[in-house]
A and B are shown apart, each in its own frame.
Chain A
Amino acid sequence: MGSGKSNDLLPGTLDLLILKTLARGRMHGYGIAQHLKIVSGDVLQVGESSLYPALQRLLLNGWAKAEWGTSENNRRARFYTITAAGRKQLEVERRELDRMILAIHQVLES
């Protein structure tokens, strides 16, 4: 899953997916990537070169918080938590995406 063959997502969708993932609970960067991969049935393979900028963006916007902790295999890892503002943003982006998909769908079906 190198950065070269990362799947094209709709712009802004990655943030939404990460927020959604975090809404389930605290998770580190690798965990988020794994989760997206498994849940999407290996379709969404998020490379680190898009994952970490996205995570920094979330931190900067105050949608997520980060803290250091210990991973399942006893290594120091950085865990991300969604904030209240993040949950609100998740709602907004979710609705926006629904609208967009519906619109695309309508266009394709016409």
Chain B
Amino acid sequence: MKLLRRIDYWLNRRKRDAELAEEIEFHRLASAAPAEFGNVTIAREDARAVWIWPWLESVVQDLRYALRNLRRQPGFALVALLTLGIAIGLNTSLFTVFNAIAFRMWPVKDPARVVKILEQAPRFKVLNGFSLAESRYFAEHARTLSAVIAASGGRVHLGFEGPGKTTNGVFVSANYFQALGVAMQSGRGFRDDEDILDAPENVIVLSYAIWRDHFGSDPAILGRRIPVDDLPFIVVGVTQEGFRGTSPGGEDLWMPLAAMQVLTPNDPSTREFLWSPNDCCSNVAGRLAPGFTRAQAQAELNVLSRQFHREFKSEAGDVVLTEATLLAGFDKRREILPAFLLMFAAFTMVLLLACANVSNLLLARAAARQREIEVRRAIGAGRARIIRQLLTEGFVIAAGASMLGTALAWKLPALVFAQLGEGPNVRLTPDLTVMAYATALAAISCIAFALAPALYGTRSKVTRARLSLRSFLLAAQVAISVVLLIGAGLMVAGVRLAKDRDPGYRIHDVSVISLDLPASAYDATRMRDFYAQLSLQIEKLPATRQMGVTAREPLVNSHWSTVIRRPIEPAAIVHVTEFQEITGGYFDVLEIPVLAGRNFRASDDPRHAIIVNETLARRYFENENPIGKPLIVNDQTREIIGVVRDALLTGLERPVPLFFQPFGGQQPPKLLVRAGFAGANDIVSEIARQIDPRIYVHSTPLSDNLDRQLAGSRVMAGVAGALGGFALLLAVIGMSGVFAYVVQQRTKEIGIRMALGAEPRQVIALVLAGTARAAIIGLAIGYVAALGAAKLLAEYLYGVSPYDPRAYFEVAAILAISALAAAYLPARRATRVDPLNALRVE
């Protein structure tokens, strides 16, 4: 291959140049009169010029020719550029998001040397964190890691924020900032003496955003005391702009782990978390020591972990080290990856569609340029040379589209993410990987759309073949848009259904009244006392039965589960089951009927009585009557006193086994009231303030939770809808282009037929028949493909059948109307052909 040899020359040009110089010098010395020898440098340069110049020159020539050609047809250039640019932009946007969560490393120094340390717990499939005790053990003994850091998130209330508002904070080991190499805007990270468990210090590091938005970028921020959950914390540092921590949710405040005792001194789980070797779930990471690999570190930590667990007589899991990306080891990974795969498939289809469109446009032009191509062949251009010229035109379009696409990908992901509310901690600015992806897409799509027309256009006998390629492209376009439109239709229907579906309880006229108590001042006993007083007051209210108390209102994004088993089952059997803490009023307000047994009464013992839902009753008590039966919950025997109807209280997908126990008052209560209970917020506020004036009471509609649950799906349905709309637009442009082309090609024939007395209807039928056939074949293929692909969507449809006939019917109607619209203008032109003019054209 000449091109390969040229590249080889280019790569080894130093060596080649030296060889050439030596060779010419040899010639000079060998000749009779070396002094008369010509200019050695010119000889060398002329010889060297052979290597790359002629080729480069022809490339430049091709490029200029392509640009001139495109400029002469601005309409074509614009449509091609926009079509491909948007398609590449959409794909690059999707990849930008995927790249940000799957490939991009933490925004820290030398992130490739940072590892996440996770534990594959025995018997569980998910990856967990470690106890802090174990992470300290690692930090002390691991030689393959130069530092081990631990972190655990939590939400805190900042005194200067509005009441009831909380901020994502995280408790970190003192070496967090230093080990990760996080740059500081001002101040420093924590000192080792600030994270001593027995002597906690109230120090805090702020994110750049908090510093800018709440302190007006105050340069004198260091050393200031700020109220965190009503306790003063001293600001010791501000991180550099853009650093939002290392968790998927992002964080804005950092405090030493030891400070957890200051903020929640009365919570028994704090002690457990800080000291117990059996706790789990602090996020641990480390930096590889120089010269060690991830595999070596993993091997060492496995040994250390087994030693640690042997010491405490517990079971060790497998230590797994992953790269420091957001998604690595994240428990939602199994949900996220298939969703992305699906989206990539849909977005790729749009790109294919765009390529088919541009390909079709190029074909039409290739036909129009038949003459030019023949002339060029006649004066000696080889077929390969002409194909190269045509591909260069494709390259010019693709390069422009790639730039447009990258620009789009710069803005679009952030816009979509803004719809999700508090967005995840991702950096969406395109990086090198994204650029490479956009370029690769452009190159591939260039081959995809430009090669076939170039090959067909330069064939000697083109007519028949070109028509079949044209029909094939049209059918493909229609098929792809059918699949995308049906997918979009199903998803939109799914979100609509989820929003309107009866979740099994009242949701639209129920309010949630929350009571925020200063956590540092309330331990379990005080909380219970407070609740006892509160409930005493509430019971005095006339509408008392219209108020339900719970620890977590429906559809809130946290799930509490415990283990249950029936006494007849062996103790080793555990069923992980979700539960709720409520009062009897909960079922009354939400109108969830008690199907058997009875509702809770104030006299029920919170440690004894439980109510189960239908699903739980069905699963564990198939044909028995569960009322009065014992159930062992976390090693304590409870009695089932009632069965309630299934309701989607914890998630919208499907009812899950769920049991209810009487609200014990250990957590801040949430009160559920009907909208009919006017002024409930003020009444509760009044009562609460009499007990403790620091308590803040606020109320939100329960439907907010529903909206939050659906935000992701709504964005996805919106994306799918936009994609479907774009696909439809492309298909219409494609179809009308083909129709117009066919009419133009057959103007003469139409003229003759009209002259011979053909009816306009016959002419239209004649002109559109072939194209319509291709469209119908495409439609059929699209339907078959959609039926096959719809199954994959089932998970995102909230119960709408993937074969919902309405979506399929609507798409057929939309496409039929679009096809008619696309055919209208060309068909009209066909019937207006003046026979005389048509014949005179030739």
Contact = CB atoms under 8 A, between A and B. Distances in A.
Given A3-B38, A61-B2, A77-B26, A49 B50 contact: no
A48 B37 contact: yes
B8 to A, nearest CB: 10
Q: Is the interface of A mostly helix, strand, loop or mixed?
A: helix
Interface string A35-61: 000000000000111111101110111
A61 B22 CA distance: 22
B90 to A, nearest CB: 43
A2 interface: yes
Contacts of B49: 53
A60 B5 contact: yes
Nearest to B50: A56
Interface stretch (B40-48, B67-75, B560-568, B705-713): B40-48
Interface in B22-60: 22-24, 26-31, 36-40, 42-44, 46-51
B23 A78 contact: yes
A71 B23 CA distance: 12
Interface in A15-50: 28-30, 33, 47-50
A28 B25 CA distance: 12
Contacts of B113: none
B19 interface: yes
Contact of A53 (B9, B27, B50): B50
A52 B50 CA distance: 9
A3 B39 CA distance: 8
B545 interface: no
A4 B27 contact: no
A53 B2 contact: no
B382 to A, nearest CB: 14
Given A55-B47, A56-B47, A60-B9, A47 B23 contact: no
Nearest to A6: B38
Contacts of A49: 38-39, 42-43, 46
A48 B36 CA distance: 12
B649 interface: no
A75 B26 contact: yes
A99 to B, nearest CB: 15
Given A3-B39, A75-B26, A60 B46 contact: no
Contacts of B44: 52
Nearest to B27: A30
A105 interface: no
A26 to B, nearest CB: 14
A52 B24 contact: yes
Interface string B53-97: 000000000000000000000000000000000000000000000
B304 interface: no
B6 interface: yes
Contacts of A76: 22, 26
A52 B5 contact: no
B20 interface: yes
Given A53-B46, A55-B47, A78-B19, A48 B6 contact: no
A52 B26 contact: no
A33 B51 contact: no
Given A4-B38, A48-B37, A78 B47 contact: no
B299 to A, nearest CB: 52
B2 A62 contact: yes
Contact of B27 (A2, A29, A60): A29
A18 to B, nearest CB: 13
B39 A52 contact: no
Contacts of A75: 26, 29-30
B55 to A, nearest CB: 9
Contacts of A33: 27
B47 A53 contact: yes
Nearest to A68: B19
Nearest to A61: B2
Contacts of A78: 19, 22-23, 26
Contacts of B37: 2, 48
Contact of B38 (A2, A71, A73, A77): A2
Given A60-B5, A61-B2, A29 B46 contact: no
Given A60-B50, A61-B2, A78-B19, A52 B43 contact: yes
A101 B40 CA distance: 34
Contacts of B20: 52, 56
B22 A52 contact: no
Contacts of B46: 49-50, 52-53
Given A3-B42, A49-B43, A56-B47, A77 B23 contact: yes
A56 B51 contact: yes
Given A30-B27, A75-B26, A60 B2 contact: yes
B337 to A, nearest CB: 49
B38 A29 contact: no
Contacts of A3: 38-39, 42-43
B17 to A, nearest CB: 11
Contacts of B50: 53, 56-57, 60
Q: Which of the listed residues B20, B23, B42, B46 has the most CB atoms from chain A within 10 Å of its own CB? A: B23
Contacts of B48: 56
Nearest to B30: A30
Contact of A29 (B23, B36, B51): B23
A29 B25 CA distance: 11
List the 9 closest pairs (A to B, CB-CB), nearest first: A52-B47, A3-B38, A56-B50, A49-B43, A30-B30, A48-B43, A30-B27, A78-B23, A53-B47
26 contacts: A1-B31, A2-B36, A3-B42, A28-B26, A30-B26, A30-B31, A47-B43, A48-B27, A48-B28, A48-B37, A48-B43, A49-B38, A49-B46, A52-B24, A52-B43, A52-B44, A52-B47, A59-B5, A60-B5, A60-B51, A62-B2, A71-B30, A76-B22, A78-B19, A78-B22, A78-B26
Given A29-B23, A52-B23, A52-B44, 11 more contacts: A48-B24, A48-B40, A52-B24, A52-B46, A53-B47, A60-B2, A60-B6, A60-B51, A75-B26, A77-B26, A78-B19
Interface of A: 1-4, 28-30, 33, 47-53, 55-57, 59-62, 68, 71, 73, 75-78
